[in-house]
Amino acid sequence: MAITADDLIKLVRGFNPKTDAALIGKAFAYGERMHEGQFRHSGEPYFTHPVAVAAILAKQQLDDATIITALLHDTIEDTPASYGEVEKLFGHEVAELVDGVTKLTNLQLNSTETKQAENFRKLFMAMSKDLRVILVKLSDRLHNMRTIKAMRPEKQAQKARETMDIFAPLAGRMGMQWMREELEDLAFRVLNSEARASIIRRFITLQKETGDVIQRITTDMRKELKRADVEAEVLGRAKKPYSIWRKMEEKEQSFSRLSDIYGFRVITGSEEDCYRALGAIHRRWRAVPGRFKDYISQPKTNGYRSIHTTVSGRDGKRVEVQIRTRQMHDVAETGVAAHWSYRDGVRSKNPFAVDPAKWIAQLTEQFDGEDDHESFLEAVKLEMYTDKVFCFTPKGEVIKLPRGATPIDFAYAIHTRIGSACVGAKIDGLRVPLWTRVKNGQSVEIITAQGQTPQATWLDIATTGKAKTAIRRSLREVDRGRFIKLGRELARSAFEQVGKNATEKVLETAARHLRLKNRDHLLEQLGSAELTGRDVVDAVYPDLSAAPGDVVDRKRAVIGLEPGQSFDRASCCDPLPGERIVGITFRGKGVTIHAIDCNRLSVYEEQPERWLDLRWHDGSHPAVYGVTLDMTIGNDRGVLGRICTLIGEAEANIADLNFLERKPDFFRLLVRAELRDAAQLHALMTTLEAERDVASISRHRDPGQSAYPQNEAEAAP
């Protein structure tokens, strides 16, 4: 049902009786008139979208200017309305906000890496001007994701990926956890609908088997808190499908093996009651070591405060518990947006709400020194995607760092001069290596020495954008030419020892496989002894030093089959020893082996009884497993011969050649090679990639092919 102007005003009056209802009504009428004749992909009048965005912001109890901006956020871009007209009718504040949202809308955040980084910088500049701009933009994206089904499939995928990569983490970084979870779930529904549906089905099955676990644990917690004389509200819920999927991917565990899929919140009346509630819960249930965080005594930079603990509940199941006061809970729900919240017509005076100006200043401070867009993007993502740890200086000052930070990061967080002069560190009084990961509550002392300069290896140790920026800046001042010249000589010598030439393309290939920026960066690290000649040679020709092992009989190559059960490799994915695999059973035809990431496995999603958990034997396999390579090579005399020779030297056998294109200057062909395992495939592709006449090479997989092309979904055993 469409939201009317009266509906919206009533919603705002619910938390702000002193709202300027006339101005909101005027903005509603103006926006409706400007968007007249425009329609969304779903066929609805376009103005239903700005109204829905305004309603989302009203439910967050935001100020009038933000809600009016939502009603007008597309007028300057998509209608005859102008900045001057909006400013004349609704004031300078609203006009600036609408203009800021318009500029954000025009940023192509899903473009190439360089362009994305450049636009990320513009996004943060807009945020620093007025954070309400991004609040409107996030609500705009939320409504678009809620109604995304009306878009074309390719547009859905683009918007969902952008939401997952940028807007959901940004909402989380701003403390708006509810919005982050909903954005992630809506994007997950588009990007991997089958996985999401599978998790929901498994939840339903689990609930049928175990009953309402949430209700039972909630009741138990209420009883324990009442026994401890703690007045508190207890809320329980199952975690969102995407959160569960991410945990399954990170831990490489199945749904049935995940333990902490339920979360509970205890909301108390005072900070003292938070700690009393924690004691009551720990007395009743066993706390899981290493899963306790006290964000009340050490709040996050976005104002988030809460106690987190994980306990073993009924049947040994783990559950996460968050304990906070009502004021802390309000900030946990709205994050930085709590600064603009209204109650009873006045700005909310929540003591835990962070001043947005200070927050955005902290967030952008370390990015200002980055000279290039790529470094800026790296620094931004480090800050957006990581949690925090809190450490102390010897004087007791608190230093906030991303999880995984080292003493190098700690030193640079104090001052760039201290970081650059760092030669060692002590944690809780004990000397530790600079690559040690600091933990919550530790005391860190930095040892400095006059004349010390940052080392190139520190780039691999540091995790914060501020530290990496300072280290890069210092390293750029060193004479790189000397190292590059020495590195070139070392590379020439190393490749000559194995009968190869250190050509420019070989060095570029080595740099790419060692994840270095370019050839010069590789030579610089080689000349400065951060890499050895052997490291560089192995990056391109890893098989030159490989030692043969015992050969595994092909009939016993797969572990997990029943005695006498035969298997075939699926020709859609050509799985190789060394790759993760799964088996699908067929009536009277044995088992077909698929790579774990094979797209064709979706055919059997609803037939779990046919799946077998298999793995390859660990020994050395014979070179009998066919894989197809898609290659584009130069059309010159002797090129194909050299390619065949290289494949032979890699101890692989060519089973078939199929020319797809013949052009005056290049050939495109499919080469079927018989290999031992995935490691040999990687080595062969690296060797061929380094050949100067090979323009491109990739592994060819055909999801349309299968070992059993008949109706596979029905060929159950």
* Residue of 314, 138, 101 whose CA lies nearest to 219: 314
Nearby residues of 585 by Cβ (< 8 Å), 6 or more positions away: 591, 610, 612, 716, 717
Q: Does 652 fall in a domain?
A: yes
Task: Assess whether 668 and 559 both reside in one domain.
Answer: yes
Do residues 464 and 412 make contact, with C-beta atoms less than 8 angstroms apart? yes
Task: Assess whether 593 and 700 both reside in one domain.
Answer: yes
Task: Assess whether 573 and 713 both reside in one domain.
Answer: yes
Write out pLDDT tens, residues 600-634. 888 888 888 888 889 898 778 888 899 999 999 98
Write the DSSP string, 406-453: -HHHHHHHH-HHHHHTEEEEEETTEEE-TTPPP-TT-BEEEEE-TT--
Q: What is the pLDDT of residue 246?
A: 75
CA pair distance 198, 454, nearest whole angstrom? 50
Q: Does 111 fall in a domain?
A: yes
Write out pLDDT tens, residues 674-712. 898 998 999 899 889 888 889 899 999 876 665 444 444
Band the pLDDT of 50: cuts 50, 70, 90: very high
Number of domains in the chain: 5
Backbone angles phi, psi at 644, to 5 degrees: -65, -40
Q: What is the pLDDT of residue 713?
A: 42
Band the pLDDT of 130: cuts 50, 70, 90: confident
Write out pLDDT tens, residues 156-170. 988 898 888 778 888
CA separation (Å) from 576 to 189, 218, 679, 686, 708? 31, 49, 9, 17, 19
Q: What is the CATH number of the domain that holds 266?
A: 3.30.460.10
CA separation (Å) from 260 to 177, 255, 282, 296, 522? 18, 11, 16, 23, 44
Query: Catalytic residue at 538?
Result: no
Write out pLDDT tens, residues 313-359. 656 677 889 999 998 998 888 877 777 777 766 776 777 777 776 76
Given 158, 191, 224, the domain boundary residue is 191
Q: What is the CATH number of the domain that holds 73?
A: 1.10.3210.10
Task: Assess whether 324 and 387 both reside in one domain.
Answer: no
Nearby residues of 161 by Cβ (< 8 Å), 6 or more positions away: 110, 187, 191
Task: Assess whether 499 and 533 both reside in one domain.
Answer: yes
Catalytically annotated residue among 20, 32, 44, 77: 77
Task: Assess whether 13 and 150 both reside in one domain.
Answer: yes
Given 164, 191, 218, the domain boundary residue is 191
Q: What is the CATH number of the domain that holds 677?
A: 3.30.70.260
Write out pLDDT tens, residues 487-526. 888 888 788 777 788 899 999 999 988 888 899 989 988 8
More confident residue, 23 or 332: 23
More confident residue, 304 or 386: 304
- Of 34-48, 58-72, 94-108, 339-353, which range is least confident? 339-353
Task: Determine the average pLDDT of the residues in 121-137.
Answer: 75
Q: Does 243 fall in a domain?
A: yes
CA pair distance 168, 181, nearest whole angstrom? 7
Q: Does 352 fall in a domain?
A: no
Task: Assess whether 178 and 237 both reside in one domain.
Answer: no
Nearby residues of 97 by Cβ (< 8 Å), 6 or more positions away: 65, 66, 69, 130, 132, 133, 136
Task: Assess whether 570 and 672 both reside in one domain.
Answer: yes
Percent of the chain residues past pLDDT 70, beyond the cut: 84
Backbone angles phi, psi at 71, to 5 degrees: -65, -30
Q: Please give the residue range of the domain that contains residue 367.
A: 359-476
Task: Assess whether 500 and 466 both reside in one domain.
Answer: no
Q: Does 345 fall in a domain?
A: no
CA pair distance 59, 269, nearest whole angstrom? 23
More confident residue, 97 or 498: 97
- CA torsion 631-636-640-643 (nearest 10°) is -70
Query: Catalytic residue at 77?
Result: yes
Given 191, 222, 241, the domain boundary residue is 191
Q: What is the pLDDT of residue 622?
A: 85
DSSP state of 529: T
CA pair distance 544, 108, nearest whole angstrom? 46
The half-sphere exposure of 131 on its side-chain side, counting CA atoms within 13 A, is 24
pLDDT for residue 376 is more than 60: no
Q: Does 545 fall in a domain?
A: no
Joined together, the tokens standing for residue 154 give 């390719």
Task: Assess whether 471 and 443 both reside in one domain.
Answer: yes
Task: Assess whether 448 and 434 both reside in one domain.
Answer: yes
Q: Does 349 fall in a domain?
A: no
Task: Assess whether 662 and 556 both reside in one domain.
Answer: yes
Q: Does 332 fall in a domain?
A: yes
Catalytically annotated residue among 44, 78, 543, 674: 78
The half-sphere exposure of 371 on its side-chain side, counting CA atoms within 13 A, is 8
User: Three-state SS for 312?
Assistant: strand
Task: Determine the average pLDDT of the residues in 118-123.
Answer: 63
Q: What is the CATH number of the domain that holds 437?
A: 3.10.20.30
Q: What is the pLDDT of residue 549?
A: 52
Write out pLDDT tens, residues 649-676. 888 878 778 888 888 788 899 998 989 8
Joined together, the tokens standing for residue 631 give 């290659």
Write out pLDDT tens, residues 550-605. 577 777 788 888 877 888 899 889 999 999 999 998 876 689 999 988 888 888 88
